[in-house]
Chain A
Amino acid sequence: MSFGLPASAEGGFEAPSAADFWQPLVGDGAFAITRASIVLLLSAAVISVVLLRVTRRLAVVPSRGQYLTEAVYGMVRNSVARDIIGSRDFLRYVPLLFTLFVLILANNLLGVVPPVQYPTMSRIGFPIALTLVVFALYHVVGIRKHGLVGYFKSFVPKGLPWVIVAFIYPLELITYFFTRPVTLALRLFGNMFAGHILLLLFILGGEYLVFEAGGLMTVAGALAFVMGFVLTLFEMLVEFLQAYVFVLLAAFYIAGALADEH
């Protein structure tokens, strides 16, 4: 691992902790430039350059790079944006959803790709930033569509008895303004954070067992390495799924704000 695990005074195995995720490169404190920040910024820049280069000369019959780009773009465009938001006005939100997808996917996959091997989204600041964009967008879209009052009215279906409205409305309000953004950010963060902790545990634990503990523990350490390998594959699946789920839910929230009825 590129970041050292501080050995405790007793010299025993130290489980990986949240402190391992704090890796300032420049400065310290609240405005330190962390490693994750650099990774995110570089990844955004690299993806931008790659996408711009690939799409500079597009042909009706695509090259391999164009084909791959189009496959990812087509998935976000058709099976997420168009299918959920509807063919009438999905195109306006495709850039947002595509940006979110490639940015999250690339940064998630960097969690297992050397030399980074660090999931950017395990720092909650980034999921929160992306979630705030989605959160602001779907409210703006809803208010533009229904008007301010109409938007708040659209949380519950028309024609419900007031007793039921009185019950449902607070729940819907919480859903729109609290549950959705919080779960959107926490889901991504939690998956990346926990997955990375798990990989750290198996690989560092295996290392400790093999090199430090000795004896029969060497065998257990080897098993831990096998588990670490399996979990890495599993983690790649989770990384893809989380990127997909994030844009899927973003599209779903936008579609909900745009819908005529609740």
Chain B
Amino acid sequence: MRLSVILSATEGGEDEGFWATAYPIIPHPAELIFGFVAFGILYWAVAKHVVPRLEKVFAERADAIEGGIARAEQAQAEAAAALERYRARLAGAEDEASRIREEARAEGARILADMREQARVEAERIVAAAQTQVQAERQQAMIQLRGEAGRIAVDLASRIVGEALEDEVRQRRVVDRFLAELEAAPAAEAGTSGGRG
């Protein structure tokens, strides 16, 4: 840019005069005023309406985002707490179940032992009763046998005495018969030990 062009006031053109050729750094008064006016108009609109509205929506948005985050955090904390509770409850239930199982097993073993003991006692009782009965029956048989033997002996004696000792042959026959009877008697009766007499 040649300085002379900027400075020259007489370059051929329609707009002769100072402002057509003035230094470009000399402010034109009307333009200065228009600058203030234009700035003033825009500043009024921006300061009075635009910025307050934008700030409001900024605040609302920040609030919405922060509120959303806070709500999400709260929900997460609640979920975590619930999970913890369920876990604790589940662990408690497992403990409870194994405890119950253990108790049942112990109970079963105890019942089994009890029953075994009862059965044993019962068996012993039955055996003892049977022995007692056998003893009693034996006793009774002995008593009966003893009475029988006495009666037989008396019978025999009276027969012997009744025959009056006729002869030796007869005597022997009697004795033999007696003995045969005697031998037959135990077979008919229960007792094994024949009466002695």
Contact = CB atoms under 8 A, between A and B. Distances in A.
Q: How large is the interface on A (under 10, 10 to 19, 20 to 34, 35 or more residues)?
A: 35 or more
Contacts of B43: 95-96, 99
Interface residues of B, number: 51
Given A17-B5, A19-B13, A31 B30 contact: yes
Contacts of A255: none
Contact of B11 (A6, A40, A59, A123): A6
A103 interface: yes
Contacts of B33: 129
Interface stretch (A41-49, A232-240, A242-250): A41-49
B35 A130 contact: yes
B15 A34 contact: no
B56 interface: yes
Interface string A81-93: 0000000000100
B2 interface: yes
B1 A15 contact: yes
Contacts of B168: none
Contacts of B29: 30-31, 125
Contacts of B42: 44, 47-48, 99, 102-103
B99 interface: no
Interface in B59-82: 60-61, 64
A129 B35 contact: yes
Nearest to B38: A44
A98 interface: yes
Contact of B53 (A15, A55, A102): A55
A40 B45 contact: no
Interface in B6-48: 6, 11-15, 17-39, 41-47
12 contacts: A29-B17, A40-B38, A62-B57, A70-B54, A70-B57, A99-B39, A99-B43, A123-B28, A123-B31, A125-B32, A126-B38, A130-B39
Interface of B: 1-2, 5-6, 11-15, 17-39, 41-47, 49-51, 53-58, 60-61, 64
Given A123-B31, A124-B25, 8 more contacts: A9-B12, A18-B21, A44-B42, A48-B46, A52-B50, A58-B54, A100-B39, A124-B26
